[in-house]
Structure 1
């Protein structure tokens, strides 16, 4: 891509390359996206070339022209009709004319066999001048048609108040739509999109995970009579390019995608929606480490459009921006229709025996709900059969040989897996340390919980939803169809169950272990734990049936957990934000992580020690104040996939001071000999301290 034209370059002439061909006569990216890419590269301290590469589909990077793929259609010629004399003695040709008469805009060549037609017959008609071949975009709309395929639902007073503020606004506005689970945030999205489409504008909708795509697309296509395209990593390169071009050319009215879709060009941008804006999936963890939520806000400001950030559990960064009057808060406090908030209960499991991670009172309660014809959701955010395998005689535990982590025991198939580096090995038959055969699984994962549920409730189907069971194409869609059939069943799974699903027949949600986030080494641990608990609890009681949520815990008196039991995320967030402010942590400060990894500890230590010395010199030389260096220290998981990792934390009271140092530090590090012996990166606004 040509970024600029200049008469002089500081690059030596021997390193300059000749442009061999001009592929496109017009810029690939509109001015607003060009500015977004430049800002992204600068803010996240990343190369502009790599940033532009991330913003473009693979086929464009490989030199494919930015042209829409055309589909071939067969169409009747003007004046042709099924009883034409030229086909009076050719019944197959006559049938073909009858079929084409039913498709006045043309019948796709890919569908002719489904209508009993063959290419030979159509080519014979073409030679007689009765049919013709035309090329057309698959998203082409032949004639104006009604916007709505089905009418909008009646908005309740809170939804209408939010919609009135959204639709009355002009130019750039950022709204934080905080709505309790089941409050009808999606209906607000749909009616806001309808207003956007009525003004002949396009809408971009970001969702956190591919698994939510089918149901999101279904809702949009059921409501609107307009072309809708999707963009995510599950598409092949050609499908991604076709959707990208349809959005750029204005043929796609609604674009739905995961985080990378934020770089999709729109011919007539009108609205951006970020659903579940708190979700960590919006943060890219490799390469260009951008946050699509934050880019959505900046892009909306460039294009002077509105942006809606929606969540039942808003991120602390968004709540902070509401406090600073940068975002406008819209609240939905009531569940839509007749649904009522679920009842929360913390179940103290201290001294209680557990079966597959579940206490006996919980198992009895599950049986009661199933006997009433309802569905039960069991949430455990650990895949596999057990978190580890331990020798009962000497205490040996199965550890990964490439990571500072324990291996997870799986039973289907039986093996030990590392969920950090992906390594696998057979299950030991005896302890490698003491040769004892008393090897026992410790703890419970989704497989073990599923096994126990099958044993406890043999008359009810148990549906497991995690990464191991959802690898097959359409697996999630097929599973959701079974759930929505309404038959009594048990759902067991990980966070894949917690996001955005509407399960009207689930009346009991059981959260097996909520304690981990209370004592996480990451300061964001309690925030993530609270978001996860509230989100998964929101699957209960979403229709007319009342819902109940049981949280198993060893810390029933913990104040943060008590806030959640009272279903008060706002009070929880206020308590945690006050603690963050007292500690000088984000969002009350600004953070970056300089990460390094290498084959030897000495290499990372040498590189980061040198980087720390350079940073201290830059702070003094350029008189940059309010920036603190913490470390270097080993990463919480020091060894991963056979490589040693360490990090240097840079904390600033002002964003401008932090970025001034980072820019100078990046230039200096690129010139250091040690930088070529380690893999290093700068992560601005890190969401994961590991």
Structure 2
């Protein structure tokens, strides 16, 4: 990368000693095709930590970025090359820390790993991550529980009784979930709430994606399909790195076998990342996944 004027940020490397400088040196990764993060100076009143989302000057404009880890967690062969250290007096200050949840260390390591594995600029991987993260904290939703005791003189219609019977298990549900499960209109739930028969409880932020069910719509596998499935499930259970290639003609059940490997991951509370060779296959893959696990996967183009 060509040398830049002193007024521009420079690619970062692990910070040198802060002796003789009262300003904190931080690395900021920008969602742009640079080979690595840049060094900036954090104002004294701004105690920044890795993962904080900030705005920084870049040329004549401001750019959103993330305070990055000063040292790489990648193996030496994947780690970015060291860059020259810019004198602390020439560093431009961080403009602002945004009131957003910081990127977790796991997510930052994932960005670094994907960039190294795909030979991509880490900022471009961050751009995809930051686009969702910048939506902010989801608004907590409100659920309902049956009030105890029930108010005197409550008029119980068959529809209202369905809602109260559903809540007898002690599980709080939203208005929409209650109405759908009980087969009634949302007005029935609101009427019970207005009558004092329901107690509001906070449910916390809604999940960005529904949880797939590994026991939903179990396939029937026979012969070589069952043998390959058992082998893949055993590989997942061992929790070690491995590579498995299934060879078979079109329609022989290869996708169903790989879906069972995903199911094995889900049963352990883990996640699975599926890479498609062509974006045009996304719709077909979503249909297969939904049929097997009862909900759509999270698509990341």
Superposition TM-score, scaled by structure 1 size: 0.26
1:149 aligns with 2:216: yes
Which residues in structure 2 correspond to 1:499-510 (within 5 Å)? none
Cα displacement (A) at 1:75: 3.0
Larger Rg, first or second structure (1 or 2): 1
Partner of 1:400: none
Identify the residue that residue 388 of structure 1 maps to in structure 2: none
Once residues 213 and 298 of structure 2 are traced to their aligned partners in structure 1, the CA distance between those partners, rounded to angstroms, is: 22
Q: Structure 2 vs 1, CA of residues 131 and 17 (structure 1 numbering), >3 Å: closer, same or farther?
A: closer
Q: What's the counterpart of residue 131 of structure 2?
A: 58
1:72 aligns to 2:157 (yes or no)? no
- Relative to structure 1, the CA distance from residue 110 to residue 69 in structure 2 (aligned partners, 3 Å threshold; closer, same or farther) is same
Q: CA deviation at 1:185?
A: 0.7
SS at match of 1:115: coil
Q: Measured at CA, do residues 115 and 210 of structure 1 come closer, stay the same or move farther in structure 2, by a change above 3 Å?
A: farther
Alignment check: 8 A CA contact 1:193 1:203 kept: yes
Cα distance in structure 2, aligned partners of 1:69 and 1:210: 32
Superposed displacement of residue 98, structure 1:
3.2
Determine the C-alpha separation between the residues in 2 that align with 1:178 and 1:16. Answer: 56
- Structure 2: how far apart are the matches of 1:77 and 1:13? 64
User: Judging changes above 3 Å, is the alpha-carbon distance between structure 1 residues 87 and 177 closer, same or farther for their aligned structure 2 residues?
Assistant: same
**Structure 1 residues 146 and 29: alpha-carbon distance in aligned structure 2, compared to 1, 3 A threshold:** closer
Question: Which residue of structure 1 lines up, in the alignment, with residue 160 of structure 2?
Answer: 96
For structure 1, the 5+ residue unaligned runs are 233-259, 261-690
Q: Is the 8 A contact 2:143 2:203 kept in 1?
A: yes
SS in 2 for 1:220: helix
Q: Compared with structure 1, are the counterparts of its residues 192 and 4 closer, same or farther at alpha carbon in structure 2 (3 Å cutoff)? A: closer
> CA distance change for structure 1 residues 2 and 32 in 2, over 3 Å: closer, same or farther?
closer
In the alignment, does 2:231 pair up with 1:231?
A: no
Q: How does 1:234-633 map to 2 (within 5 A)?
A: 260=301
What does residue 180 of structure 1 align with?
A: 249
The one-character-per-residue Cα deviations of 1:102-143 (angstroms, maximum 9, x if unpaired) are: 255344334649722327524413xx36332432435677xx
Query: 1:110-129 to 2 correspondence within 5 Å?
Result: 110=176, 112=179, 115-118=184-187, 121-125=191-195, 128=196
Q: 1-side partners of 2:290 and 2:140: how far apart? A: 22
Task: Tell me which of 123, 130, 136 is aligned to 1:49.
Answer: 123
Distance 1:35 1:59 in 2: 17
Q: Offset at 1:173?
A: 0.9
Aligned to 2:273: 204
Aligned partners of 2:144 and 2:198 also within 8 Å: no
Deviations along 1:602-653, one digit per CA (max 9) or x if unpaired, are: xxxxxxxxxxxxxxxxxxxxxxxxxxxxxxxxxxxxxxxxxxxxxxxxxxxx
| Structure with greater contact order relative to length (CA < 8 Å, sep ≥ 6) | 2
Per the TM alignment, residue 33 of structure 1 is displaced from its structure 2 partner at its CA by: 0.3
Residues 1:2 and 2:63 aligned together:
no
Partner Cα distance (1:34, 1:204) in 2: 14
Q: Secondary structure at the match of 2:144?
A: strand
Question: In the aligned structure 1, how far is the partner of 2:132 from the partner of 2:272?
Answer: 24
Alpha-carbon distance, 1:24 to partner: 2.6
- Quote the residue 2:42 is aligned against: none
Q: Provide the C-alpha distance between the structure 2 equivalents of 1:180 and 1:34, rounded to a whole number of angstroms.
A: 35
Taking the aligned partners of 1:177 and 1:49, their CA distance within structure 2 comes to 34
The structure carrying a bigger strand percent of its residues is 1
Deviation at 1:87, TM superposition (A): 0.8
1:656-671 matches, cutoff 5 A: none
Q: Is 1:130 equivalent to 2:198 in the alignment?
A: yes
When the two chains are superposed, the root-mean-square deviation of aligned CA atoms in Å is 3.9
> Structure 2 CA distance, aligned partners of 1:40 and 1:107?
42
| Distance in 1 (alpha carbons) for counterparts of 2:257 and 2:190 | 51
Q: SS of 2:67's equivalent? A: coil
Q: CA shift at 1:11, angstroms?
A: 7.2
Q: CA separation in 2, counterparts of 1:28 and 1:209?
A: 30
Count of equivalent residues: 212
Q: How does 1:25-40 map to 2 (within 5 A)?
A: 27=104, 29-30=106-107, 32-37=109-114, 39=116
Q: 1:35 to 1:22 in 2, by over 3 A?
A: same
Structure-2 separation of matches of 1:33 and 1:153: 35
Task: Find the partner of 2:234 among 168, 171, 195.
Answer: 168
Secondary structure of residue in 2 paired with 1:135: strand
Which secondary structure state, in structure 2, belongs to the residue aligned with residue 75 of structure 1?
strand
Q: Deviations over 1:557-576 (max 9, x none)?
A: xxxxxxxxxxxxxxxxxxxx
State the secondary structure of the residue aligned to 1:74: strand
> Taking structure 1 as reference, are residues 149 and 24 closer, same or farther at Cα in structure 2, changes over 3 Å only?
closer
SS at match of 1:173: coil
Shift of residue 52 of structure 1?
A: 1.6
Residues 173 and 69 of structure 1, relative CA distance in 2, 3 Å threshold: farther
Q: 1:100/1:206 Cα in 2 relative to 1: closer, same or farther (>3 Å)? A: farther
CA displacement, residues 326-369 of structure 1 (integer Å, 9 cap, x when unaligned) = xxxxxxxxxxxxxxxxxxxxxxxxxxxxxxxxxxxxxxxxxxxx
Partner SS, residue 246 of structure 2: strand
